[in-house]
Amino acid sequence: MTKSDLLPGPLPNSLQLTKDGKLKHLLSIEGIPPLLLEEILDRAEQFVSLPDKAQNKAPLLRGKTVVNLFFENSTRTRTTFELAAKRLSADLINLDIRTSATTKGESLLDTIRNLEAMNVNMFVVRHQHSGTAHFIARYCAPHISVLNAGDGHHAHPTQALLDMLTIRQHKHAFPPLKVAIVGDILHSRVARSQIHALTTLCTGEVRVIAPRTLMPVGIEKMGVNVFHDLNEGLDDVDVVIMLRLQHERMQNALLPSAHEFYKRYGLTEESLRSAKPDAIVMHPGPANRGVEIDTKVADGPQSVILQQVTNGIAVRMAVMSMVMGAQSGYSQ
């Protein structure tokens, strides 16, 4: 696999959207029309603004069954999907992949077919291989919706959506903004989804900042400006999004050391001064303190990292309620 192979290809909208343009599955930000993206954010904002008790009693998925299919470890994403399903009154099944039939030789499609026979309504899929959520969406029963909770290097659409919601809450409009995404761009499905979302929402400028060894070849085609110097890339930006170094996906020695990366690309109070004084700092988590970001910045006044976590529940509630509305023909 080469770095250029990691750039996502086009996604057929017929798989994600119904004939009348509603959300049927959420597999990628790519291909989602701007108005529908805004509609998701508007719906999520409604959930954010609800009192806690009202959030816990929303009946929108009562009688529906959601299955979490996490073939890859995750704490934050899985927990927020669980909370979102429960707050919408859905029945929830967490499939333990370590003891599931797929570890005993059963194919993924056989597993899906058996779950379909139990009259489930939604699969939330996280998998180490790109395209798995698309595969399931293509072959699952028509009444089932599939949400991609992260697939390989390809996409993490709900993470991008919660990031967009957080940016909008602080900066209101996207066209005037300069946004910098910093770190392991090469292995980051989050970065790809963020770039698609930011460009769809007509963000003024999207920058990616990374060492040459962690920058995909040809990423400029996605509508971003490439920087290899942190201070230059952060100059006058409104939003700084830091990414985790994904050592588990690195097949070669792409960096001298984590310490060297921190010296050149770690976000510190000093390097943050290159951005605008009111710039916000984001991180999809989990954050490696002292590698991508200094503790004083992660916990500082410009950090909105914990707000991202809170918004993750609201965004996933919004997406779940919208896909079920499109599947059953009702609207909330």
Distance CA 218, CA 223 (A): 10
Rounded Cα–Cα distance for residues 148 and 324 (Å): 15
- Is 161 found in the same domain as 149? no
Q: Is 160 exposed, middle or buried (0-12, 13-18, 19+ CB in 10 A)?
A: buried
Average pLDDT, the chain: 88
Determine how β-strand 205-209 pairs with β-strand 225-227.
Answer: parallel
The total of other beta-carbon atoms located within 10 Å of residue 68's CB is 23
As a 3-state breakdown, the chain gives helix, strand, coil percent values, each rounded to 5, of 45, 15, 40
Give the model confidence (pLDDT) of 238-277 as tens digits.
999 999 886 544 444 456 577 888 999 999 999 999 999 9
Question: CB of 169 within 8 A of CB of 162?
Answer: no
Give the residue numbers spanning the domain of 236.
157-304
Asked whether residue 110 falls in the same domain as residue 245, the answer is: no
State the amino acid at position 176 in one-letter form.
P
How far apart, in whole angstroms, are the C-alpha atoms of residue 273 and residue 8? 33
| Paired residues of 240 in beta bridges | 180, 281
Cα dist. 294→110, 182, 268 in Å?
46, 14, 5
Percent of the chain with pLDDT over 90: 73
Question: Are residues 116 and 244 part of one domain?
Answer: no
Give yes or no: residues 288 and 196 share one domain.
yes
| 329 pLDDT tier (thresholds 50, 70, 90) | very low
12 and 134 share a domain?
yes
> Ramachandran region of residue 150, left (φ > 0), alpha (ψ -120 to 50) or beta?
left
Do 298 and 203 lie in one domain? The reply is yes
pLDDT at 55: 58
170 and 111 in a common domain:
no
Provide mean pLDDT across the span 65-93: 92
What pLDDT does 102 receive?
Answer: 57
- Residues 150, 163, single domain; the answer is no
3 alpha carbon, distance to own chain's centre: 21
Residues 177-204: what's their mean pLDDT? 96
Give the chain's domain count: 2
- Per-residue pLDDT averaged across 199-208, rounded? 98
Query: In the 8-state DSSP scheme, what is residue 187?
Result: T
Same domain, 269 and 315: no
Residue type (1 letter), 196: H
Does position 85 have pLDDT exceeding 70, yes or no? Answer: yes
The CATH number that applies at residue 130 is 3.40.50.1370
**pTM exceeds cut of 0.85:** yes
Residue 153 pLDDT? 85
Q: Clarify whether residues 124 and 248 are in a common domain.
A: no
Q: What is the pLDDT of residues 115-132, one digit of tens each?
A: 999 999 999 999 988 899
pLDDT, residue 285, reads: 87
Whether 142 and 185 share a structural domain: no
Q: Are residues 212 and 85 in the same domain?
A: no
- pLDDT tens figures, 117-175: 999 999 999 998 889 999 999 999 999 999 999 998 899 999 999 999 999 999 999 99
